[in-house]
Amino acid sequence: MIHLLQTGSNTATAASYLPVAIQIAFAVGLVAFLMVVTHLLGPKRKTSDKLQIFTSGIESHGDARQPMAIKYFLTAILFVLFDVEVIFFYPYAVNFKGLGWDGFWAVLMFVGFFLSGFIYIIKKGALKWED
């Protein structure tokens, strides 16, 4: 196995997946073991207080199904969009010398698309909260 890693062989055999299979089996076994142990060793007192619905000490009133402003969802979606953009910069930052000028122009074009989208969002008023 170590010989395969040292020689850099590109042949994928069943033996080359053995470390991954061992790690997955170990992880699944550990999770199953811990769940069984906590079930066996944990307390089993079921009182009426423990079986009640947890409400953070605040009495519930009204309907939970109230309409909510779309601005909250829009802000969350925009956050995820621009957060994913930052994730795409990581591979470029790791290998920017190897990518050369072609990689630089590709990232510049990527940033340009996102900036044009951000300008569109601002012009549409998606981030204004004065409603």
Domain ranges of the chain: 1-45, 66-131
Give residue-wise pLDDT tens across range 86-124: 888 888 888 888 888 888 899 899 889 888 988 888 888
Contacts with 18 (C-beta within 8 Å, 6 or more apart), sequence order: 1
Segment 6-21 shows an average pLDDT of: 75
CATH code reported for the domain at 66-131? 1.20.58.1610
Token duo for residue 40: 């066996």
Separation CA 95–CA 100 (nearest Å): 9
More confident residue, 61 or 75: 75
Distance of CA 120 to the CA centre of its chain: 27
pLDDT at 85: 82
